[in-house]
Amino acid sequence: MLEPVRVLSQQGLVRVELARWDERLVVVKRLVGVSAEVARRLEREADVVRKLDHPNIVPLLAAFDGNLIYAYVPGSDLGSLLDGGALPVARAVKVAADVLRALAHAHLHGVVHCDVKPANVLLKGERALLTDFGFAKDLAMTAITGDQELLGTPNYMAPEQFRGVRTDHRSDLYGVGAMLYHALSGEPPYGSQVIRWLVGDDRVPLEPLPPTAAALEPIVRKALARAAEDRYPEAEAMLDALHAAVPHAAALA
């Protein structure tokens, strides 16, 4: 039996609630109202997340009667943490590394997250967990969202995703690069000019990282390359580069 505790958020017809289920706290994602399209999206999300089993991905515990029941992760999300400014270099690298591990697992199973951003990274102690696969693309499943439909958050969205392409796993690596830039500098890349950059204006500058994070500058810029083929080919390659640049952060893994 689900007993609602409080509403955490609501976007359109999808409400996210903290609830009690069999005497444990859980997070419930549910449809409030009537929409066949939204119901299909929630069913697809459940099908996608069932494929994934990784310590850096928030697990789906059950799905029934239009409810998606996720494990409750006590703590905050990366977006809330970044409201207080930049993070120490080792902490920022540890978060990025955890997200890359999660993405490596998802990509291995043919899943592209498509919405990697600070609000979708939950922090449990020193561990970061990726959540919200509501926009995810499962390359093994028939699409229910056209490739030309724009989904995501511009500050963390790769240029090809901005154009509607949602089938390249390297778009997720761009999202990690954007999050890491934000965590190290205190601001997302390109700031208020991000739309200009996404539509192709290369005159928009990417401000350099602080001197304390200079060793990570080449990694972040490679992850944020306009062309997907100029980024890291896979999550593991970016993870290796991070640990080579900041070896002591590997001890936090």
Q: Give the CATH number for residue 207.
A: 1.10.510.10
Pair (53, 117) in one structural domain? no
Of 226, 227, 233, 216, nearest to 181 (Cα)? 216
pLDDT value, residue 249: 59
Pair (143, 85) in one structural domain? yes
8 A C-beta contact, residue 184 and residue 176: no
Domains contained in the chain, number: 2
- 214-232: average pLDDT: 97
Pair (56, 80) in one structural domain? no
Pair (221, 101) in one structural domain? yes
Mean pLDDT of the chain: 92
What is the rounded distance in angstroms from the CA atom of residue 122 to the CA atom of residue 140?
A: 27
Of 158, 212, 210, nearest to 187 (Cα)? 210
Pair (204, 99) in one structural domain? yes
Judge whether residue 87 has pLDDT over 90.
yes
8 A C-beta contact, residue 3 and residue 46: no
pTM of the predicted model over 0.85: yes
Cβ neighbours for 71, distance < 8 A, ≥ 6 positions apart: 26, 27, 58, 59, 61
> Mapping DSSP to helix (H, G, I), strand (E, B) and coil, where does residue 233 land?
coil
Q: For the segment 132-147, what is each residue's pLDDT rounded down to a tens digit? A: 999 999 988 655 454 4
Of 178, 33, 29, 28, nearest to 118 (Cα)? 178
- 195-217: average pLDDT: 95
Q: For the segment 147-174, what is each residue's pLDDT rounded down to a tens digit? A: 445 556 899 999 999 999 989 999 999 9
Pair (177, 99) in one structural domain? yes
pLDDT value, residue 1: 82
Picking from 55, 71, 87, the residue at the C-terminal end of a domain is 71
Q: For the segment 11-32, what is each residue's pLDDT rounded down to a tens digit? A: 889 999 999 998 899 999 999 8
Pair (90, 204) in one structural domain? yes
Judge whether residue 247 has pLDDT over 50.
yes
pLDDT value, residue 146: 45
Q: For the segment 27-56, what is each residue's pLDDT rounded down to a tens digit? A: 999 998 888 888 998 999 999 999 999 999
Q: Tell me which residue range forms the domain holding 12.
A: 2-71
Q: Give the gyration radius of the chain's Cα atoms.
A: 18
Pair (117, 231) in one structural domain? yes
pLDDT value, residue 78: 98
Pair (111, 197) in one structural domain? yes
Pair (99, 207) in one structural domain? yes
8 A C-beta contact, residue 156 and residue 224: no
Token duo for residue 110: 């043919």
Q: For residue 22, indicate whether it is catalytic.
A: no
Pair (85, 58) in one structural domain? no
What is the rounded distance in angstroms from the CA atom of residue 156 to the CA atom of residue 224?
A: 9
8 A C-beta contact, residue 31 and residue 46: no
Q: Identify the active-site residue in 77, 115, 132, 138.
A: 115
Picking from 46, 71, 96, the residue at the C-terminal end of a domain is 71
pLDDT value, residue 195: 96
Picking from 71, 98, 126, the residue at the C-terminal end of a domain is 71
Report the CATH number that the domain containing residue 39 is assigned in CATH. Answer: 3.30.200.20
Judge whether residue 250 has pLDDT over 60.
no
pLDDT value, residue 6: 95
Pair (136, 202) in one structural domain? yes
